[in-house]
Amino acid sequence: MEVTIPTENNGTSWKGGNEKPLGASYGKMMMWFFILSDALTFSGFLGAYGLMRFKFHDSWPIADEVFTHFPFLHGFHAPMYYVALMTFILIFSSVTMVLAVDAGHQMNKKKVTFYMLLTILGGAIFLGSQAWEWKNFINGTYGAVKLNDGKIIQFVDATGEQISLESFVKPLHSERTQHTANKGLWFVEEAELPPFTLNEVVESFKANPGISIRTELINPETKAKTIIPHSEAMGFLNEAKSVVMGANLRENEYGKTLFANFFFFITGFHGFHVLSGVIINIIIFFNVIIGTYERRGHYEMVEKVGLYWHFVDLVWVFVFTFFYLV
Amino acid sequence: MTHAQEHNSHTKLIWKVFAILSVITIVEVALGIIKPDALYLTKILGTSPLNIIFLVLTVVKAYYITWFFMHMADEKKNLRRAVVWTSVFLIIFLATLLLIEGSYINDVLGPLTKWNY
């Protein structure tokens, strides 16, 4: 594969000479071992996620109810479709990458350039899709109420379908004093205002006998969240502390905050890998164009970045399974 | 550059692998959306049969990506074993311990969690 300067090697050279015990060049072998260590890092994260998931096995958010958006389909319940699309984008960019490697073996500069470009585009589209997914998750869909002990209460209609706060909460007139530095604690910032106050939510709930609440607890028989009848709901709402819209590192309208934490951390870490993959791909794309590898006599660099790119795809296959399917 | 002729194109194989990966993904997504009760609500080996199917399909996908996209099939046996066996062993080891611990904590913690107000 490589153009190496013939050196004399009688097998006793400390420099190793041209011996390649694993049959791969130094760079490729090290890429494999980097991938191995990175795979173990990701399995550590996914393992920690698994631990927490088993720990809260009876009250973990159901992914189908969390990720339900699809571009241009507002209000349409579309679980999984979007993330399936993202998976296809990434798998397809893997295909163009391996086609670039294949063209590199045939020293076909034009084809390598074209397929590298497609790979970069695929990676960029994936990153954009992930940003959109994050945006929806952060903004939230329905809104919920958090209890004093941190549990999340969601609202459902008579059929058990989750409903948004906007659909039933009527604004009440109330006066509110804004917190400024000269009133009370100067170092305390005013918390961000939810679109509805807790009082408005509770009062509107009382006024609507048709709606009810849902706790995080999963019924093992039906694998659905437990619905509390309207008559018993006030026991829960008397404990209510705040209105939650969307998800962040501190609270999550879909349920456990840990779910949001792991989602942001693991998909973020993966997204960061995709980003660095795209950047490395761009560097190598320009190297291909200016003919660096043509002059070097081989396209092994494309092969090495290809390994990394496929690994990123491989990680996504597992993230997809553990966050969206299982 | 005599080696250019040694490599014949693998384009056909690549598209075949892409087709396999796509079909697996479509099956996964379809099962994930439909969630047939017989697979979703029953229990086998501590989880639902549906989850087992997802795990197996994921490993199959990982195999196709590693072997044919990353060309692990063409590497020397030593390199392949050094990478694959190490990761498979350590990941299974880690996952087993963590999941056992997780369900133990759930057994202890679960009954103490208050769900009625």
Chain B environment of A95 (Cβ under 8 Å): 14-15, 18, 69
A76 at the B interface (CB within 8 A)? Answer: no
CB contact under 8 A, B10 and A236: no
Q: How many residues does chain A have?
A: 326
Q: Per the CB < 8 Å rule, is B117 touching A47? A: no
Q: Do B82 and A22 touch (CB under 8 A)?
A: yes
Predicted local distance difference test score (pLDDT) of residue A173: 75
Cα–chain-centroid distance for residue A181?
A: 38
Same domain, A172 and A216: yes
Residue A127 forms part of a structural domain? yes
**Residue A279 · residue A309 · CB < 8 Å:** no
What ipTM was predicted for this assembly? 0.90
pLDDT tens per residue, range A189-231: 777 677 788 889 999 999 999 899 999 999 888 888 999 999 8
Q: Could you tell me which chain B residue has the CA closest to the CA of A60? A: B106
* Binary contact (B76, A32; C-beta < 8 A): no
* Interface contact flag, B101 A298, Cβ < 8 Å: no
Q: Residue A254: inside a domain, yes or no?
A: no
Determine whether A71 is exposed, middle or buried from the number of CB atoms within 10 Å of its CB (0-12, 13-18, 19+).
exposed
Name A5's Cβ contacts closer than 8 Å, sequence gap at least 6. none
Please check whether residues A136 and A270 belong to one and the same domain: yes
Model confidence at A14, pLDDT cuts 50, 70, 90, reads low
pLDDT, tens digit (0-9, with 9 covering 90-100), for A270-286: 999 999 999 999 999 99
Are residues A91 and A237 located together in one domain of the fold? no
Q: Would you write out chain B's pLDDT as a tens digit for each of its 117 residues? A: 344 444 567 889 999 999 999 999 999 999 988 888 888 888 887 788 999 999 999 999 999 999 999 989 888 899 999 999 999 999 999 999 999 999 999 999 888 988 888
Query: Which chain B residue has the Cα nearest residue A99?
Result: B11
For residue A248, pLDDT beyond 70: yes
Q: Which of A117-131, A165-179, B29-43, B75-89 has the lowest mean pLDDT?
A: A165-179
A188 — pLDDT class (breaks 50, 70, 90): confident
pLDDT given for residue B2 in this prediction: 41
Mean pLDDT of chain A: 88
Mutation site for A-interface testing, chosen from B63, B65, B89 by largest number of A Cβ within 10 Å? B65
CB proximity list for B106: less than 8 A, separation 6 or greater: A54, A55, A56, A57, A58
Verify that A71 and A133 share a domain, yes or no. yes
Shared domain for A88 and A121, answered yes or no, is yes
Q: Choose one of A193, A214, A243: the last residue of a domain.
A: A243
Q: Are residues A183 and A117 in the same domain?
A: no
Check CB contact of A289 with chain B, cutoff 8 Å: no
Grade residue A15 by pLDDT with cuts at 50, 70 and 90.
low
Choose from A3, A29, A42, A51 for mutation: most chain B CBs within 10 A.
Answer: A51
Give the model's confidence band at A187: pLDDT under 50 very low, under 70 low, under 90 confident, else very high. confident
Query: For A61-78, what is the mean pLDDT?
Result: 81
Residue A10 lies in a domain: no
In which residue are the tokens 């550059």 written?
B1
Helix axes A26-55, B77-109, angle to 10 degrees: 10
Q: Which of A35, A79, A95 is the closest to B18 by Cβ? A: A95
Does the beta carbon of A291 lie under 8 angstroms from any beta carbon of chain B?
Answer: no
| A44 plus A126 within the same structural domain | yes
**Domain contains A23:** no
Q: Do B83 and A32 touch (CB under 8 A)?
A: yes
Residues A108 and A192 in one domain: no
Supply the pLDDT for residue A10: 55
A33/B78 Cβ within 8 A: no
DSSP codes, B46-93: TB-HHHHHHHHHHHHHHHHIIIIIS-GGGS-HHHHHHHHHHHHHHHHH
Q: Are A245 and A143 in contact (CB under 8 A)?
A: yes
Residue A134 and residue A263 in one domain? yes
Q: Is there a contact between B109 and A51 if contact means CB atoms under 8 Å apart?
A: no
Half-sphere exposure of B60 (CA within 13 A, CB side): 16
What band does A17 get if pLDDT is binned at 50, 70 and 90?
low
Same domain, A222 and A160: yes
Whether the per-residue pLDDT at A310 is higher than 80: the answer is: yes
Note whether A102 and A159 are same-domain residues.
no
Structural domain containing residue A195: 144-243
pLDDT of A178 reads 76
CB contacts under 8 A, A 253-282 vs B, are none
Question: Of the residues A211, A243, A275, which one is the last residue of a structural domain?
Answer: A243
Are A106 and B29 a contacting pair at CB < 8 A?
no
Q: Which residues in chain B are contacts of A224 at CB distance < 8 A?
A: none
Number of domains in chain A: 2
Q: 10 Å Cβ neighbour count for A44? A: 14
The pTM of this model reads: 0.88
Q: Are B21 and B57 in contact (CB under 8 A)?
A: no
* B contact residues 50-89, partner A, Cβ 8 Å cutoff: 51, 54-55, 58, 61-62, 65-66, 68-71, 75-76, 78-79, 82-83, 86-87
Residues A76 and A151 in one domain: no
pLDDT digits (tens, 9 = 90+) for A96-115: 999 999 999 999 999 999 99
Domain containing residue A90: CATH number:
1.20.120.80
